[in-house]
Amino acid sequence: FGGSANNQLYLPAGVARDPITGTLYVSESGNHRIMSYLVNASSGTVVAGGNGPGTNRTQLNFPTGIYLDVTSNSLYIANYASNNIVRWVIGATSWTLVAGDINGMKGNSSTMLFSPFDVEVDFMGNIYVADTFNHRIQFFQAGSMNGTTIAGVTGVTGSDPYHFNCPMTLKFDSQLNLYVVDRLNHRVQKFLQY
């Protein structure tokens, strides 16, 4: 059973590991928080959120995918129910907006998202978002809040190679080719480096 104590999880959705320290970070959708676990620890520490669901900068709202940026000691968080991507420096008490609407509004324009499930960041600081219910992958150049659709067709589902049906998870390989879990099409698609 799920719970909210520091040795319990409730609807965990994403995980990231620090390759240097081995610390594990877990996004807990049901508790609207990100937990960190030191190596071999059975109890964790809240490092982001944990203040109930909401759009306040100290809150998360059903966080799902996370990306750990070791160089800036921060987590990029797919804030699923708030329709945005936020960056939370580990040790800070609040986040900064990276993509989407600060008030949690959903949309399908180049600056809006609709239930983003995952986020990846490349070595140049560019951000890639699985914009799940817009059925697209959005690319945000480092420092820009204006995204470009690099895969999928906004708002259109399909099963051919150019469409998605609820893209959920993203991962890069060493050549920056992008792999996308296309959930309701029951497949993983590979896209060559953008």
Q: Tens digits of per-residue pLDDT, 118-155?
A: 999 999 999 999 999 999 999 999 999 999 999 999 99
- Residue 97 and residue 119 in one domain: no
pTM, entire model? 0.97
Structure tokens at 136: 């697209």
**Domain region containing 138:** 106-193
- Residue 116 and residue 168 in one domain: yes
- Residue 124 and residue 78 in one domain: no
- Residue 54 and residue 69 in one domain: yes
- Residue 12 and residue 88 in one domain: yes
Closest by CA position to 102, among listed 76, 82, 75, 80: 82
Helix (H) and strand (E) counts for the chain? 0, 15
Which pLDDT band holds residue 102 (cuts at 50, 70, 90)? very high
